[in-house]
Each structure stands twice: as structure tokens, then as C-alpha cells.
Structure 1
Amino acid sequence: MACFIIGAGSFYGLPVPVRDTDTVIAADGGWRVCRELSLTPSLLVADFDSLDTVPEFDHILRLPVEKDNTDMIRAVKEGFARGETEFHLLGGMGGRRTDHTLANMQTLAYIARHGGRGWLYGSGERFTAICDGGEIMLPAKKSGILSVFCLGADAEGVTIEGAQYPLADAALTADFPLGVSNHFTGKAVRVAVRRGCLLIGICDKE
């Protein structure tokens, strides 16, 4: 099972098909995308700053406009409450709101720290995060860009294996982009971190 959360940002298509066993949550303006895709979400989470009207729908979690949680991260919390651990965040990048893109990248760290795996999708690119002893194996690709960033406090014990530029027990900091623009070389790539959190970006184009 997986949880698809569709937000109000730029939508670049479904990365994988939505199965009957998957959960779909619309985050505010993501409701319109669900309608266009003929998807009926399990829940609409919204403060309705991206929708002109409140739709006639039985499963709405209405949020106050003034709040600490973004619509997206509250939708993630609802997904965790339903037992989900795999999250696909769509409509969470692009558009006019770079601040929301950054907030959704932070949301990936929230997912990782709570034992889940999250993916945030853009145009020909996707991001995920690993934290505190986490690791990820990325399938072999003949080409493409791999970037690894420190997300928060200094990341220690960073390992990258199988990419053009490997790292072993290295440190990454938030003020120097050492991990940007690595390359896939046809091998599977392993990324791991002993302490701290990493944001991992994969771009299909060189």
C-alpha cells in the first residue's frame, strides 16, 4: 500500500499507477487534480486558501488558515494515522511558491524520522530523505544526476557507493553543497548516513 498526497503546486503526472489498495489524500487545491484524474480521495485536507469553494464531499478535514502545519504535512500525519509508511507527494513543487517546495522537502525529513519513506516529485526529478542511520539503494541508471544535501544539522558518516564520485564516512554541512551533481554510471547506488538527515535528489536528465 502507498499514500498519494496531491497538493496545489505544479502537477507533472502520476509517477506510478494508483492501486485500489492505495490511499489518496487531496491537500487543498490538489482536489482539482483528483477531479481531473477521476480519483476520489479518501480525505480532503484543506484550509481552502487554494480552492474557491468548499466541495460537497463527506470526508473533509478543515484546517484553520492560521496554523503551524501546512496542508501537506497535515495530510502526511493523517496518512501515518491510517498506517501508511510509503508516501508519494505530488503537486508539491513548482508554481509560484518556492517556500512550499522547501517546506515539502522538510516534510520528507519528517516522514523519514517517523519511519516512513517519502518521495516528492517535480518535472523529471524526485527527492527523498534519509535520517539517523538510514540508507537507500537506488536502482542502476545509465545516466542521470544524483545530488545529496545536508538537511538540517551537520550530517555525519555519509556514504555514497556506486556513483561517479563516492564518499566514505564523510561529513556534509548545510552551508556547502559538496554533494551536488554526482552522476549515475550504470550501477546501483547506495546512500547512507550515520547521524543527521540527507535530502537526496534524482534528476533523469544530465
Structure 2
Amino acid sequence: MQHTKTKVVIFSGGQLSEQALKYIQPEDFIIGADRGAAFLTKHGIHMDIAVGDFDSVTEEMKIDIAINCDRFIDCDPVYKNLTDTEMAFEIALEQQPVEIMMLGALGTRFDHSLSNVHLLRRTLELGIQCTLADDHNEICLMDARQSFTVMDHGFTYVSLLPLSMEVTGVTLEGFQYPLHQATLTLGKSLSVSNELVGEKGIIHIADGVLLVIQSKD
């Protein structure tokens, strides 16, 4: 079913703290994936959809999750082809949102974290703004179709990492270390740990796909 809400917030089973709850607005469409659904239930946040194999929660918690959502999707852990997060992501795309926020998509499982970062490529192609966030990072993806504005909201560093073999025509405005028509190559660290000099910075690129990572220690 398609909904009219313009922003979908996904809570997955990676690293989550109460800080993640600040990203929720009253009008958001909320999806909880496995332990992410348990986190929301424990904090009294009602979900539009809870999805997953729920193999990492107790039966009692699973019942509580089912009560705490409008729609409960329980999947067989052996025969499902997608991770819990990607299942939630596919449901998010069905809502045709303007924006997707993914929380708990980063954590100690690097394979899952990297796989979730790769999901940004899907939203980029569809023209949907998508951000992966935890207490220390906010990660977005951009290409040459439009410039990207980075706002100073408590994250100290801004790193730019190519997700294509190279990104050309990189020009930065409002950064401590400016670039003009530079080329960033996969495997090089030229654009790691830059900083804003004001309230915002603007990134332009001519070609390629670029990860924009705001981070703090």
C-alpha cells in the first residue's frame, strides 16, 4: 500500500541509542527491522510496519512488536533472500517517499554496514534523498546531477570518498581545505577529514558517484 508521507524512517538492528529517536518527526512513516523494531517497542514508538525474521529477539518481545505496529511481516530466517534491512528498504521504496532515513544500519558487522551503504546507490538512481546515521556519522551519496550542501549540525569532519572508480571536477566551497576541479580516485585518501569554515559547505562534481560522510569522535 502506498502512503502519502514524504519521509520514511527505518530502524535496523545495528548500533542504536536514544539519540536515534531525534530523527523521528510525528508525520514520518516508521519501519522497524528485527532488533530495530524491538528498540522502537522498548521506547514506546509505534511503527507503521515491523519486518524481519526476528531471530534475534525473544518470543515475548516478538509478540510485543506485533502489537506495536500496524502491519507485522514475519519472514523465515532460512529461506529469505534479503537481509532484514534490505526488506525494510524495499518496503520504504514502495511508499514512494521524498526522503529515507536509515538508523541502526551501521554497526559491528562491517559486511552488513557496507551492504547498507550500497543501498544508497538505489535511492540515488531514483532521486530519493537517503541518509544512514548513527551517533557518530551521517552518510549520503551524490552524483553530478545536483550540488550537495553540508550543514554544520555538530559533526566535526566531512570526508568525501568515491563510490565509483573516480570522481572528477570536485569543487568545494566553504571548507577548510578547498578543492577546485579535482579528481578523487578510489583507494586514495585526499579528501578525508575536511572541515567546514562556516555554517555550510557546498560540493560540486562533474562526474562519478561520491560518498559524503559527516563524522565526529
TM-score by length of 2: 0.82
Unaligned runs of 5+ in 2: 1-5
Kindly indicate whether the alpha-carbon contact (under 8 Å) linking 1:28 and 1:45 is maintained by their aligned counterparts in 2.
yes
14, 19, 30: which is aligned to 2:20? 14
- Measure how far apart 1:89 and its partner are: 0.9
TM-score by length of 1: 0.86
Kindly indicate whether the alpha-carbon contact (under 8 Å) linking 1:142 and 1:187 is maintained by their aligned counterparts in 2.
no
Gap change, CA 1:28 and 1:199, over 3 Å in 2: same
Q: Structure 2 CA distance, aligned partners of 1:80 and 1:104?
A: 14
Is 2:195 the partner of 1:183? yes
Report the identity percentage.
25
Kindly indicate whether the alpha-carbon contact (under 8 Å) linking 1:113 and 1:131 is maintained by their aligned counterparts in 2.
no
Is 2:32 the partner of 1:26? yes
113, 126, 137: which is aligned to 2:138? 126
Letter in 2 for 1:89: M
Letter in 2 for 1:191: I
Q: Aligned residues, how many?
A: 204
Kindly indicate whether the alpha-carbon contact (under 8 Å) linking 2:101 and 2:131 is maintained by their aligned counterparts in 1.
yes
Q: Structure 1 CA distance, aligned partners of 2:82 and 2:116?
A: 11
- Measure how far apart 1:187 and its partner are: 4.3
| 1:105-157 Cα deviation digits (max 9, x unpaired) | 11223222221111111223211111242321122469811101011332222
What is the RMSD of the two structures over their aligned residues, measured on CA atoms? Answer: 2.3
Please name the residue that 1:46 is paired with. Answer: 52
Is 2:180 the partner of 1:168? yes
Kindly indicate whether the alpha-carbon contact (under 8 Å) linking 2:120 and 2:140 is maintained by their aligned counterparts in 1.
yes
Letter in 2 for 1:108: L
- Measure how far apart 1:24 and its partner are: 0.4
| 1:2-57 Cα deviation digits (max 9, x unpaired) | 21100001103226352332100011111111112211111112133333444335
Kindly indicate whether the alpha-carbon contact (under 8 Å) linking 2:30 and 2:49 is maintained by their aligned counterparts in 1.
yes
Kindly indicate whether the alpha-carbon contact (under 8 Å) linking 2:141 and 2:210 is maintained by their aligned counterparts in 1.
yes
Please name the residue that 1:5 is paired with. Answer: 10
Q: Name which of structure 1's ranges 20-29 and 74-83 shifts more when overlaid on structure 2.
A: 74-83
Kindly indicate whether the alpha-carbon contact (under 8 Å) linking 2:147 and 2:203 is maintained by their aligned counterparts in 1.
yes
73, 87, 91: which is aligned to 2:86? 73
Structure whose residues are more often helix by fraction: 2
- Measure how far apart 1:191 and its partner are: 1.4
| 1:34-85 Cα deviation digits (max 9, x unpaired) | 1122111111121333334443356123445455533223322211211212
Runs of 4+ in 1 over 4 A off after TM superposition: 140-143
Kindly indicate whether the alpha-carbon contact (under 8 Å) linking 1:141 and 1:188 is maintained by their aligned counterparts in 2.
no
Kindly indicate whether the alpha-carbon contact (under 8 Å) linking 2:20 and 2:134 is maintained by their aligned counterparts in 1.
no
